[in-house]
Amino acid sequence: MELSTQTIKQRFEIIGNDPLLNRAIEKAVRVSPTDISVLVTGESGVGKESFPKIIHQLSHRKHNKYIAVNCGAIPEGTIDSELFGHEKGAFTGATNSRKGYFEVADGGTIFLDEVGELPLTTQVRLLRVLENGEFIKVGSSEVHKTNVRIVAATNLIMDSAIHKGKFREDLYYRLSTVEIKIPPLRNRKEDIHLLFRKFASDFAKKYNMPTVRLDDNAQKLLTLYSWNGNVRQLRNVAEQLSVLEEKRNISVSLLQSYLPDFNSNLPTVLNKQKDSSDFSNEREILYKILFDMKKDLNDLKKITQHLNNNDRSVDFNNEEVSGLEKLYDSKNEVESKASELIEINKNKIGFEKTAPVEDKYHFAEEISEEETLSIQDKELELIIKALERNKGKRKAAATELGISERTLYRKIKQHDLEL
């Protein structure tokens, strides 16, 4: 008799009514009577470990062993021994022969968690087990047979891991005869508060204290938060609130203090509620862009100053003309973006034309003027040193500085250098 999805949830303590979650449970139930290998995928903390248990408990292997192996927690040098066993003397410290998990779990189920972390050499051994049920112990040449069902799980994007050469493509297709995808918590909006209430109730019983409850605004925040750590992170927050807070009614401000990277983890909907302090961060980014562009703009000012003075001694080659065009384009683009962002921020937070953002912009221009003087001083210093090193020979000095001799002559006159 096939069990209902609700019955499975109650039996394995799975909370939620999300359609994608229900579909994953249905797939696990349908595949369990077979011996097909299964790959469970999903982000870290979504609860992948529950599905191998469902598959094993509903299969004909349920009376045999179920072994869960965290492949990412076993050192690379010993993982082959852990999985396939070893003979006495196979390596330093191997004082006795040892059975591996595949031999111990013969007739049962092995759950390989974080299978994407397996070394490539171990992947080759695992592929042989999947193909014909054979394996060889470390330090032995004898072939052993095993009849195990393999259920694996990973939080990696397998296509990317295969493309980077970290995971064998043939092994992936062997493991993923059936793939069960577990949705992240942020895509299960309706389930988030249900899960929190379940965790809060469990911890209240565990620590013998009243259950914590969220007010309406805190419930909304709980739903809007992105939960990068998924169900595991939500459980941790519920436990911290249960243990650390004396008040049993949790406000939105209190809940916020338990959510790391609060602002960056909220979707756009909540970010629309930002106040003027949030927009100040945007302005700071704008100022940084302006400061980063000041050197190019200063160079542009010097060139245009010569042009305005009808200084025909300026020698422009094709590269310099192209560079001048780029500087004009950069200047226009930055000024356009600056004006646009300033106007947007004005409209959003309602400050007048005399708001600090314009004061800071003028301040940026003053700093730019000061730094122009500094650049001229550095330029003069470099020219003097180049001339000294080349004993006053302008052609050699110009070559060292990477400019034309005519440009060097003009700069010597500009700085009133006496040679």
With respect to residue 17, please indicate whether it lies within any of the assigned structural domains. Answer: yes
Report the distance separating Cα 372 and Cα 329, nearest Å.
20
Q: What's the CA gap between 363 and 378, in Å, rounded?
A: 23
> Are 149 and 294 members of one domain?
no
Evaluate whether residue 71 is within a structural domain. yes
Nearest Cα to Cα of residue 39 among 168, 160, 165, 171 = 171
Output the six-digit token pair for 259: 């959510």
* CATH number of the domain enclosing 246: 1.10.8.60
E strands within 141-182? Answer: 143-145, 149-154, 178-181
R_g of the chain computed on alpha carbons: 34
pLDDT at residue 70, as a whole number: 96
Q: Tell me, what DSSP letter sits at residue 211?
A: P
For residue range 371-408, list pLDDT tens digits in order: 445 567 777 788 888 888 888 888 888 888 778 887 88
Residues 118, 209 within the same domain? no
Domain membership flag for residue 138 = yes
Same domain, 250 and 361: no
On whether residue 419 sits in a domain, the answer given is no
pLDDT in tens, the chain (419 residues): 467 899 999 999 999 999 999 999 999 999 999 999 999 999 999 999 999 999 999 999 999 999 999 999 999 889 999 999 999 988 888 889 999 999 999 999 999 999 999 999 999 999 999 999 999 999 999 999 999 999 999 999 999 999 999 999 999 999 999 999 999 999 999 999 999 999 999 999 999 999 999 999 999 999 999 999 999 999 999 999 999 999 899 999 999 999 987 655 655 444 444 444 444 455 555 555 665 566 566 666 666 665 555 544 444 444 444 554 555 555 555 555 555 555 555 554 444 444 444 444 444 444 444 444 556 777 778 888 888 888 888 888 888 877 888 788 788 877 777 66
Kindly state whether residues 190 and 172 are assigned to the same domain. no
Q: What is the pTM of this model?
A: 0.62
- Rounded to the nearest 10 degrees, how much is the dihedral formed by the CA atoms of 257, 262, 268, 274? 60
- C-alpha 147/C-alpha 151 separation (Å) is 13
Name the burial class of residue 128, with classes exposed (0-12), middle (13-18) and buried (19+) by CB atoms within 10 angstroms of its CB.
middle
Is 49 in the same domain as 87?
yes
Residue 159 lies in a domain: yes
Contacts of 18 (CB under 8 A, 6+ apart): 183, 187, 188, 190, 191
Is 395 contained in some domain?
yes
pLDDT (0 to 100) of residue 288: 57
Looking at 166, 183, 200, the residue that finishes a domain is 183
What CATH number has the domain bearing residue 133?
Answer: 3.40.50.300
Are 159 and 254 found together in one domain? no
| Residues 306 and 375 grouped into a single domain | yes
Nearest to 19 by CA among 153, 227, 177, 189: 189
The total domain count for the chain is 3
Q: Which of 183, 206, 223 is the last residue of a domain?
A: 183
Residues 302 and 232 in one domain: no
- Domain ends where: 271, 292, 313? 271
Whether residue 267 is found in the same domain as residue 280 = no
Q: Are residues 211 and 352 in the same domain?
A: no
Angstrom distance (rounded) from CA 193 to CA 218: 10
Is residue 63 situated within a structural domain?
Answer: yes
Give the pLDDT confidence score for residue 19 in this predicted structure: 95
Amino acid at 47: G
Q: List helix spans (H) across 32-157.
A: 50-57, 79-84, 101-104, 120-132
d(CA 386, CA 412): 12
Structural domain span for residue 235: 186-271
Same domain? 286 vs 254 = no
Q: Is residue 260 located within the same domain as residue 352?
A: no
d(CA 381, CA 137): 72
Element (H, E) at 110: strand 109-113
Domain assignment present for residue 93? The answer is: yes
Query: How many CA atoms, within 13 angstroms, populate the side-chain half-sphere of residue 111?
Result: 20
Q: CA angle 25-27-31, nearest 5°?
A: 120
Q: What is the pLDDT of residue 354?
A: 42
Token duo for residue 51:
């599905």
pLDDT at res. 342: 54
Distance separating alpha carbons of residues 281 and 193, to the nearest angstrom: 32
CA distance 137 to 143: 8
CA distances, 266 to each of 46, 227, 228 (Å): 19, 9, 11
